[in-house]
Structure 1
Amino acid sequence: MPNSPTYPADLLARAAKIRLACFDVDGTLTDGRLYFDSEGRELKAFHVLDGQGLVLLRKTGITVAFVTARNSVVAEKRAAELGVEAHIGVKDKQVRVDEIRARLGLSAEQVCFMGDDLPDRVPMQTAGLAVAPANAHASVLAHAHWRTSARGGEGAARELCDLLLLAQGHDATEVA
């Protein structure tokens, strides 16, 4: 990738092994704010760069999954639009990630988890690559192998996707 950022060798080594990329939704794929219309319907804003990155991962054979505690029709629809797995209303994120991992026959080191707050801490602790957006809560930062420069909902997920693509020898322009 021309003009790609320089990453530490240990981060690239972790990223090269990833076959399952799990993403929290609120605060990671969105800016974390919850919007409701006058009818009580939830609204969320997703960044188009993040969506493109998730599609590129999927095209290279990496399984992508949303793993969120909130029941969200909006997140479910966004996942369907991108062709990624949606695990919505998950009470125990670690149990769900382990179920997905077992179904795919993967080891923990082949799992990446991106999260921003307390419910994401345990799956981040067990993931081969744990990533937090720039604005993640301090409670999870100690468990992150890497912190993006972008904030949640503002391209943070795309930064992770670009790292995974680079570490695995893919050029995004050729994958697209």
Structure 2
Amino acid sequence: MPYSHFNDYPPAVRDHATRVRLACFDVDGTLTDGRLFFDTEGRELKAFHVHDGQGLVLLRKVGITVAFVTARASTIAEQRARELGIVEVHTAVADKLACVRDIAARMGIGMDEVAFMGDDLPDLRVMQQVGFSVAPGSGHPWVRERAHWRTSAPAGNGAVREFCDLVLAAQGKAEALLADVVRIDGVRVEGNA
């Protein structure tokens, strides 16, 4: 099994993960390590982890909608989303909860089928209203202690992939995805992470 330690997670965490149909992510401090870099002309730079990107591609491949929901205006986040084929990209969001509720309503699903991964206070309100709230291991303690689950990996360094792998294993999709890319004559990497 590609996620052999899946049964080590508490039953409630596994149960939350089985219901996810919409996975929403904050960007800064969740998909990135939270540091903001600016060049001498004031242009913002961000670093994304390729493993996180592959996890998001895999979620989309099995039919889970992925959304970026961030309070910051960010052309870099928009560009990364395009690279990964993510359509639901919401930047400069003043009310993350309203945004997530709108996406879920358009999909015709309940908030119990929504996951949100965030790292700090602007994420907490929406995290308290979804079926599965997740914080990266490096998230602020106030958020980590109120999330349904926290990853062992820090933000920007595989935390999102850890979440994606858990959801894929919980929904029984991990084995089929692995079988899809492994061939007798070698390994073929899928997606554009």
Q: In percent, how many aligned pairs have the same letter?
A: 61
Worse-superposed segment, 140-149 or 102-111: 140-149
- The offset of 1:3, in angstroms, is 5.2
Could you tell me which of 70, 73, 97 is aligned with 2:72?
Answer: 70
- The offset of 1:111, in angstroms, is 0.2
Could you tell me which of 11, 14, 17 is aligned with 2:13?
Answer: 11
Report what 1:173 is aligned to.
178
Q: Report the count of equivalent residues.
A: 176
Report what 1:111 is aligned to.
114
Q: Can you list the C-alpha shifts for 1:130-161, whole angstroms capped at 9, x where unaligned?
A: 00001111221232010100000000000000
Could you tell me which of 154, 158, 161 is aligned with 2:161?
Answer: 158
The structure having more radius of gyration, on CA atoms, is 2
Match of 1:48, as an amino acid?
V
Report what 1:50 is aligned to.
52
In the alignment, the residues of structure 1 paired with residue 142 and residue 102 of structure 2 have an alpha-carbon distance, to the nearest angstrom, of: 25
In structure 2, the gaps of 5 or more residues are 181-189
In structure 1, the gaps of 5 or more residues are none
In the alignment, the residues of structure 2 paired with residue 108 and residue 61 of structure 1 have an alpha-carbon distance, to the nearest angstrom, of: 17
- Displaced runs of 4 or more, over 4 A: none
Contact kept? 2:25, 2:68, Cα under 8 Å? yes
**How does 1:23-42 map onto structure 2 within 5 Å?**
23-42=25-44
In the alignment, the residues of structure 2 paired with residue 96 and residue 16 of structure 1 have an alpha-carbon distance, to the nearest angstrom, of: 23
Q: Secondary structure at the match of 2:51?
A: helix
Worse-superposed segment, 131-140 or 28-37: 131-140
Contact kept? 2:136, 2:144, Cα under 8 Å? no
In the alignment, the residues of structure 1 paired with residue 81 and residue 145 of structure 2 have an alpha-carbon distance, to the nearest angstrom, of: 28
In the alignment, the residues of structure 2 paired with residue 116 and residue 19 of structure 1 have an alpha-carbon distance, to the nearest angstrom, of: 21
Q: Can you list the C-alpha shifts for 1:100-155, whole angstroms capped at 9, x where unaligned?
A: 00000011110000000000001100110000001111221232010100000000
Report what 1:148 is aligned to.
151
In the alignment, the residues of structure 2 paired with residue 112 and residue 56 of structure 1 have an alpha-carbon distance, to the nearest angstrom, of: 16
In the alignment, the residues of structure 1 paired with residue 2 and residue 82 of structure 2 have an alpha-carbon distance, to the nearest angstrom, of: 31
With structure 1 as the length reference, what TM-score do the two structures score? 0.97
CA RMSD, 1 decimal: 1.1
Match of 1:98, as an amino acid?
R
Match of 1:165, as an amino acid?
L
Report what 2:102 is aligned to.
99
With structure 2 as the length reference, what TM-score do the two structures score? 0.88
